[in-house]
Amino acid sequence: MPRLVVVSNRVADPRKTAAGGLAVALADVLNNTGGLWFGWSGKIVEPSAGGRAVEGELRTQQAGPVKLVTLDLSREDHDAYYVGYSNGVLWPVFHYRLDLADFDAGYIAGYRRVNQLFARKLQPLLRGDDIIWVHDYHLIPLAAELRALGCTQRIGFFLHIPLPPPLILAAIPGHDWLIRALFAYDLVGFQSEADHGHFCRYVEAEARAQNVGEGRWRAFNRTIQAGAFPIGLDVEEFNALATAPDARDMCERMRREYSRRKLLVGVDRLDYSKGLPQRLRAFRELLQRYPETHNSATLIQIASPSREDVSAYTDILHELESLCGSINGNYGELEWMPVRYIHRTVARSRLPGLYRASRVALVTPLRDGMNLVAKEFIASQDPLDPGVLVLSRFAGAAEQLKEALLVNPYDVEATANAIHLALQMPLEERRARHQALMANIREYDVHWWCDAFLDALVKAQAEETGTPWLRL
């Protein structure tokens, strides 16, 4: 395997398990190939008095055999590329929320500028036979910018968030530019068959691309490969976390504290895509419809702070506070608080304990690329007495986790009924469902995802049938 170069907005040290997610997933292959991970440092450099900030200075850190290379951004670039275009346009539109998108014309120029900066800084660090894997919506045009600098290496792109249907995508000014940029890659990967389907329909209808079979599409004088590669969990790493003292202690304390109650859990970044207000309304409906849940059902909702510089996030924060207050005010008793809402980040080492102590998990996003919390909940359960997963049909995970109780989160009544069913579910059925779910997350774990994507990337060299029309 040639050297792997990973590019993503943020970089993490793969040696630290607290990093979780992508870092753990990519650790093996980065270590084995002496890889390089490139991205933004997370730091903003302010302009010095009277001048522009010096951005783009590279900082290199060695993490075992892996090189972590990061750069700072100027305030202006950060605001346009990160806050403006990535999180103010692409995130809402890709989650079907045109109403929340801010199509300020200045943002796209900043997005492009930072992608060019990344390309300019990365190109001199590359070797001829590197395999480059670019992650997520912040960096869609990166391959096109690298190609413009003469890079011929194999480059793959994975989109962690959903891709909406063609007519929603087409609402983005410059959508054709974005999708053309994808044709600079050799392989483009999505979380689900649904998202992959949206890509196929878009390129056929809007880009007049030709389907040449086996997931290959020809347009702009290039033939590229596309497919679904659902991301998974590092089940072993998560099991190790679940059996470590922090998680066990958390589980025991929760079980003791809630011994006379049935615990429900939600763990999300505070984001409008996660369907938190709808979830709380469904929980309120449960309390309304099923009086036997009083003094018993207790929802612990962790909403970890995220992107607080984007205004839509302040709105949802206020809505949640008000809903929790009214549920506790109307249904609470002196000795029972129905909702415990925590707007803070909980240590990763304690999460498996919280999941394991809960009878039901509510994972009910309005739209989600995959949703790893659903898989973490399954992995944390006691197979002899497992909890039940209530999962939105609009999470990418619903394509795989068919034995969960699938719900439409917009339908508050039906969701309340499903939660009730979950709370009542007999042990035999809980075990059978959990066994099937566990088999799925074990088979399609994060190593499967990583290997499947990289195997496909190694095989998928784009063909050029003329001068590629990738000028952006």
* Minimum distance from residue 86 beta carbon to ligand GDG (Å): 13
The distance of closest approach from Cβ of residue 305 to ligand GDG in the complex, given in angstroms and rounded to an integer, is 9
Give 411's Cβ-side CA count (13 Å radius): 12
Radius of gyration of the chain (CA): 23
Helix, coil or strand: residue 253:
helix
For ligand GDG, the closer of residues 63 and 302 by Cβ is 302
Task: Give yes or no for a contact between 370 and 396, defined as CB atoms under 8 angstroms apart.
Answer: yes
Residue from 95, 160, 196, 434 carrying the catalytic annotation:
160
Distance CA(273)–CA(358), nearest Å, equals 23
Binding site for ligand GDG (CB under 6 A): 20-21, 160-161, 231, 267, 269, 302, 304, 345-348, 351, 368-373, 376
**Residue 191 Cβ, how far from ligand GDG at the closest point, in Å?**
7
Contact by Cβ (8 Å): 416, 432: no
CB 390 within 8 A of CB 360: yes
Nearer to ligand GDG, 84 or 266 (CB): 266
203 vs 231, which CB is nearer to ligand GDG? Answer: 231
Nearest C-alpha neighbor of 300 from the set 355, 260, 245: 355
Residues contacting residue 407 through CB under 8 Å, at least 6 positions apart: 364, 390, 391, 392, 393, 414, 415, 418
- Here the tokens at position 306 are 């995220």
Compare residues 346 and 405 and give the one whose CB is closer to ligand GDG: 346
Q: How far is the CB of 346 from ligand GDG (least distance, A)?
A: 4
| Nearest CB to ligand GDG, comparing residues 25 and 219 | 25
Shortest Å, Cβ 452 to ligand GDG = 14
H-assigned helices in 172-310:
175-182, 193-205, 235-243, 245-257, 276-289
Pairwise CA distance, residues 147 & 116, whole Å = 11
For ligand GDG, the closer of residues 20 and 275 by Cβ is 20
Q: Which is nearer to ligand GDG, 45 or 437 (CB)?
A: 437
* 368 catalytic residue (yes or no): yes
Q: Provide, rounded to whole angstroms, the least separation between the CB of residue 340 and ligand GDG.
A: 14
Could you tell me the CA-to-CA distances from 308 to 114, 270, 316 in Å, in that order?
Answer: 22, 9, 11
The one catalytic residue among 135, 368, 420, 445: 368
Rounded least distance, CB 238 to ligand GDG, Å: 9
Helix axis angle for 235-243 and 372-380, nearest 10°, is 50
What is d(CA 378, CA 370) in angstroms, rounded to the nearest whole number? Answer: 14
Provide the 8-state DSSP code for 48.
P
> Catalytic positions, please?
160, 368
